[in-house]
Amino acid sequence: MTETATRTVLVLGGGTRLPKALRAHGCHVVYGGTLAEFGPGHRDACDEALLLPDDDGDVWLDRVLALHKAVPFDRVVTVRERFLTTAARIRDALGLAGNPLRTVLLLKDKALMREVLDGTPGSPAVRAALMRAPDDLAGFTARAGLPVVLKPRDGSGSQGIQVLRSAADVERAARLVAETPDALLAEEFLDGPEYSVESFSRGGEHQVLAVTEKFTGDNAVEIGHVVPARIDSARHAALVSATRAFLDAVGLTEGPAHTEVIVTPAGPRVVESHDRPGGDGIIDLVREVTGADVRDLLAAHTAGVQPPPQVPTAEAAATWFLTAPPGLVTEVTGWQAAATSPGVLQTDPETAPGDTVPPLSSSEDRCGSLTAVGATADEALERARAAIAEVHITTQPVPGEETPAP
């Protein structure tokens, strides 16, 4: 039996593609998650399962260390945000290969990340400060000037991000700082087009799979993506260089990364990064255009074998998200027309009559999405936008609540 056939891998959270790919490479797969997310497909995708009531990292660490005595793990992997820190803690405790806990914490804690980057030679600085008291916000805005971005030091999915554009915004946000000291990070506002760089690393070498062009709406919430980004070779090279330098600085050595970058007049500035695949369907766009699925790449790397052949199925692919006015949903129409529009691969309705649409403040406030492909990025975008325009959501004020002003 080969070495790869005897590797035991703990997969924390997620769907079935990664565990299935690991088993196809001869690994013994133990799936770790909650009972609520363990479905019939997981039974066929793994050899064993460790199911716990919730995601408490301390409990997981204790249980896995105990199980390791009976079923020694060779690797611990995850592609789920909520398990990244737990997986790193387990790897460090067991002395297993993978990104160290320090790297994962740097990527999770944006305040700590900024401190490290400020001390890294050649790393373009982004002015930032941890908000410990209300006066800190006033002092930072005086130094950086408005607008200023205020966001959770540990967040994802655009949750809790605010762009402060006026003195009134700063006064209101200062009250939030007072309620949550040490939880918010203020950053200078980076003005320019937004991209994300999707990569996979092996032994500290970072392979760029694709550059995604991003579109945002209110409160910096992402409302669209297209792969490949509509950029020239010089901008592509600058984005790749900035991403690789950033991943080196934080010590990422292996696995997927999703790095968000804004190109300012002074050049690319990394906003943040994650040691996981990009969300919002980006993983599917990259697979359509490049043939590479990072879950398959991670499985092959973990098993110690060559990755599968990469066979693209489209020249370009785009996802566009549906938004609607806040209020109580009374009618939803047009999804069938959207699904049969040219180039549409899939639709994902998420809002039905009776639901309540909140103001757009995070990714969770969007009402659905669809993905379309095309011969060019422009065509894929045009098709996605045209198809989503077929969908109409009618809302009315929620009884007893005042509808926010637009």
Q: What is the pLDDT of residues 231-271, one digit of tens each?
A: 999 999 999 999 999 999 999 999 999 999 999 998 999 99
266/361 same-domain check? no
In a domain, 58, yes or no: yes
Mean of pLDDT over the chain: 92
Residue-level pLDDT at 221: 86
CB 37 within 8 A of CB 16: no
Question: Which of 160, 180, 221 shows the shortest CA–CA distance to 367?
Answer: 221
Amino acid at the residue 175: R
Residue-level pLDDT at 209: 98
Residue-level pLDDT at 119: 67
198/296 same-domain check? yes
Whether cis (ω within 30° of 0) applies to the bond prior to 147 is: yes
210/290 same-domain check? yes
Of 303, 337, 352, the position where a domain reaches its end is 303
Q: What percent of the chain has pLDDT over 90?
A: 85
Tell me how far CA of residue 169 lies from CA of 68, 98, 141, 273, 327, in angstroms: 51, 42, 11, 27, 24
**Those residues with Cβ within 8 angstroms of residue 124's Cβ, 6 or more apart along the chain or in another chain:** 242, 266, 267, 268, 269, 270
155/200 same-domain check? no
The domain that holds 386 is classified in CATH as: 3.30.470.20
In a domain, 119, yes or no: no
CB 284 within 8 A of CB 317: yes
In a domain, 309, yes or no: no
299/198 same-domain check? yes
In a domain, 404, yes or no: no
Question: Which of 123, 119, 365, 115 shows the shortest CA–CA distance to 223?
Answer: 365
In a domain, 405, yes or no: no
Q: Is pLDDT above 80 for 212?
A: yes
389/327 same-domain check? yes
241/324 same-domain check? no
The domain that holds 149 is classified in CATH as: 3.30.1490.20
Q: Is pLDDT above 90 for 5?
A: no
Q: Is pLDDT above 50 for 406?
A: no
Query: What are 356's strand-pairing partners?
Result: 328
226/296 same-domain check? yes
Structure confidence by residue, pLDDT tens digits, 302-326: 999 999 899 999 999 999 999 999 9
pTM of the predicted model as reported, rounded to 2 decimal places:
0.90
Domain count, the chain: 4
Q: How many CB atoms sit inside 10 A of residue 396's CB?
A: 12
In a domain, 149, yes or no: yes
Q: Is pLDDT above 50 for 333?
A: yes
Of 150, 170, 188, the position where a domain reaches its end is 188
285/207 same-domain check? yes
DSSP assignment, residue 364?
G
Range of lowest pLDDT (85-99, 110-124, 208-222, 356-370): 110-124
280/340 same-domain check? no
390/290 same-domain check? no
Residue-level pLDDT at 4: 41
In a domain, 403, yes or no: no
Residue-level pLDDT at 87: 97
Antiparallel, parallel or unpaired: β 8-12 and 28-34: parallel
Domain ranges, residue 169: 127-188
- CA gap 7, 4 in Å, rounded: 5
The domain that holds 59 is classified in CATH as: 3.40.50.20
In a domain, 116, yes or no: no
Query: What are 214's strand-pairing partners?
Result: 194, 225
Of 252, 281, 303, the position where a domain reaches its end is 303
88/8 same-domain check? yes
